[in-house]
Structure 1
Amino acid sequence: MSRTKKLKRPVASFILLTNVIFWPIFCLVGAVKLLGFPTLVFDVVRCLSAWSSTFAFAILFKKIYPTQSFAHFVKKKLTNKLHLSVIVVVLAIQVSIFFMIVLLVWNKEGVDSILTISSWGMLSYYFIKNLLSGPLGEELGWRGFALLELQKKYSPLIASIIIGFWWGMWHVPIWLTTGFMGIDLIKYSLFFMLSIISTSIIMAAFYNLNQNLIIPIIIHQFFNFFIGLINGNLVDLLMYNAILYSLAAILLILINPKNVLYKTVSMNN
């Protein structure tokens, strides 16, 4: 009876395969857009591209955890009791950042409509679309596996920065389709990376406080959802996001509740 050989560098293999899967699907997203397919088709294919990390993790799973089942692994990530206090603090941070950005945009640009969506129906569709095309497809691989795996070797803070960097780099194809060029593209990329790494630190802190994958999913969802709601210059929005999420991450590093960012945290596979 043959035994599955464990991967020596599981996180590196996961990141590489995630990109290998993502690029062709992302090209398909571009083709769907160029060929003028209906918006719903575009949204479905785009959503599929966001699940590349989950696909990669599922493919590699038996080489990473030979004695476990994928379904059992996922179930364990969602079974720990959610702490209301953690959810409230997370939402308070993100809602506060949202309103601060709204005020900054309003004062600077004086736009007639500060929000991009004006009906409850569109708001609901946008919320669900964001949930399916980001948090649900990405967090199992990036936080549920990669962050956990790196925390076996590094402190949660260092692990979150490493994961934040590679998670940000995974988005590079998206940067190249924004239409920005020159200094605007440089600003967009820098602010994007700073936002992503700061958010990764925040995710690690609260995920380690309440070891349930729903926590990073919530943080990821409202990070995407809120910035898409505000009607303003995208580079400026990313700059505000980068500054405010960085301040929140720095505050968490300084407070370091229950030492969740410095000491090695035991998280169940």
Structure 2
Amino acid sequence: MSREKKLKKPVASFILLTNIIFLPLFCLVGAIKILGFPTWFFDVARCISAWSSTFAFAILFKKIYPGQSFIHFVKNKFKTKLKFSVILSVSTIQAFIFILILFLVLNNSEVDSIFTISSWGMLFYYFLKNLLSGPLGEELGWRGFAQVELQKKHSPLKTSIIIGFWWGMWHLPIWFTTGFMGMDLIKYILFFMISIVSTTIVMAAFYNLNQTLIIPIIIHQFFNFFIGLINGNLIDLIMYNAIFYLVVAVLIIIINPKKVLYGKKATTIIKGKHYMI
């Protein structure tokens, strides 16, 4: 296939198509909610809408990577062996943030129960639902493609800020279904965007340290899962998340382990994998 048939701006095309696909799916989810369909039906529809980025990437794949196999591309994203040190670091950081937020809510809340889940069965269902509706549906497109593709032109840190911003903006329709108005809505959006951009920086650092898509999937899953477990004021929860993930992101930027975010050693991509040169 000739080079002329390749997309000139693949990341921009991906972001645009992701939003085009997501909007009608989001409206469908809203209609299902309003019409009173069963909860499981609503959950399935919401999971499908969360896969809009994967649908967009699959549709554009042949124009982005002519002659390559989509299935082979996906397999390569999970090919690298997981590093115990990376998994331990990610799990420890996010568990610590969860405990800190839990402590803050306990000291500032008067709710009867600090947790939103009351049984092990519901906990498992909630974990699985979050995994399907967020991490598995979003990470192939946003991290597996967009992050890696944009790192060909920019440093991982700059790329993370760009992708984090547009990933956050993709959630824009959801902001207006929270019920918040005025200053509360502004606070929610501000804290949400800080959380998203900060988390994207954390994802990029650990993804470049251990080049498997499982890493951002785990980070994304813990981010969603932990905040959903706590029974508290949503704006407060988002604010706590924004503060703590921003602190972690800043520390990682300062430490810049193995120069994975910026520096003299640049990240290059060879056959879909990252190498430090």
Counterpart in the other structure of 1:232: 232
2:89 alignment counterpart: 89
- For each residue in 1:133-165, what CA deviation from the matched residue of structure 2 results, as whole angstroms up to 9, or x when unmatched? 000000000000000011000000000010000
Deviates most, 4-13 or 162-171: 4-13
Partner in structure 2 of residue 171 of structure 1: 171
Q: Secondary structure at the match of 1:138?
A: helix
Q: State the alpha-carbon separation in 1 of the partners of residues 15 and 110 from structure 2.
A: 42
Give the aligned partner of residue 150 of structure 1.
150
Q: How does 1:106-145 map to 2 (within 5 A)?
A: 106-145=106-145
- The alignment status of 1:160 with 2:160, answered yes or no, reads yes
1:4 CA displacement: 7.4
Deviations 1:24-54 (A, max 9, x none): 0000000000000000000000000000000
Asked if 1:265 is matched to 2:267, the reply is yes
Post-superposition offset of 1:109:
1.2
Give the corresponding residue for 1:253. 253
Unpaired stretches in structure 2, ≥5 consecutive residues: 273-277
Provide the rounded CA distance (Å) in 2 between the counterparts of 1:31 and 1:126: 22
- What's 1:30 paired with? 30
Paired with 2:142 and 2:151, the residues of 1 have a C-alpha distance of 12
* Partner secondary structure for residue 267 of structure 2: coil
1:259 and 1:2, CA in 2 relative to 1: closer, same or farther beyond 3 A? closer
Q: 1:211 is paired with a residue of what secondary structure?
A: coil
Report the 3-state secondary structure (helix = DSSP H, G, I; strand = E; otherwise coil) of the residue aligned with 2:16: helix
SS at match of 2:115: coil
Quote the offset at 1:67 in angstroms.
Answer: 1.9
Letter in 2 for 1:113: S
Query: Do the aligned residues in 2 keep the contact of 1:168 with 1:196 (CA within 8 Å)?
Result: yes
Contact 1:4–1:66 under 8 Å retained in 2 = no
- 2:275 matched residue in structure 1: none
Shift in alpha-carbon separation, 1:199–1:3, aligned structure 2, 3 A: closer
Q: Which residue of 2 aligns with 1:21?
A: 21
Q: Secondary structure of 1:32's match?
A: helix
CA distance in 1, matches of 2:41, 2:269: 38
2:44 and 2:207 map into 1 onto residues whose CA distance is 29
Give the equivalent residue in structure 2 for 1:73.
Answer: 73
Amino acid at match of 1:28: L
Residue 216 of structure 2: aligned partner: 216
SS in 1 for 2:269: coil
Q: Distance between the aligned counterparts of 1:172 and 1:267, measured in 2?
A: 31
SS in 1 for 2:114: coil
**Secondary structure in 2 aligned to 1:80?**
coil
Alignment partner of 1:266: what SS?
strand
Q: RMSD across aligned C-alpha pairs, in angstroms?
A: 1.1
Q: Paired residue for 1:9?
A: 9
- Normalized against structure 1, the TM-score is what? 0.98
CA distance in 2, matches of 1:5, 1:219: 35
User: Which AA in structure 1 matches 2:76?
Assistant: K
Aligned to 1:201: 201
Q: Distance in 2 between matches of 1:74 and 1:159?
A: 21
For residue 180 of structure 1, give the secondary structure of its aligned residue in structure 2.
coil
Give % identity: 75
Give the letter for the 1:195 counterpart. Answer: S
Asked whether the equivalents of residues 203 and 215 of structure 1 are also in contact (C-alpha less than 8 Å), the reply is yes
1:212-233 C-alpha deviation (Å, 9 max, x unpaired): 0000000000000000000000
8 Å contact kept, 1:161–1:201: yes
Q: Which amino acid aligns with 1:23?
A: L
> Displacement, 1:267?
3.5
Shift of 1:118: 1.4
Partners of 1:4 and 1:73 in 2: CA distance = 22
Length-normalised TM-score, structure 2: 0.95
3-state SS of paired residue (1:79): coil
Report the Cα distance in structure 1 between the residues aligned to 2:2 and 2:252, rounded to whole angstroms. Answer: 47
Structure 1 124/98 Cα, relative in aligned 2: closer, same or farther at 3 Å? same
- What is the CA-CA distance between 1:112 and the residue it aligns to? 2.3
**Equivalent-residue separation in structure 1 for 2:152 and 2:3 (angstroms):** 24
Residues 4, 62 of structure 1: 8 Å contact kept: no
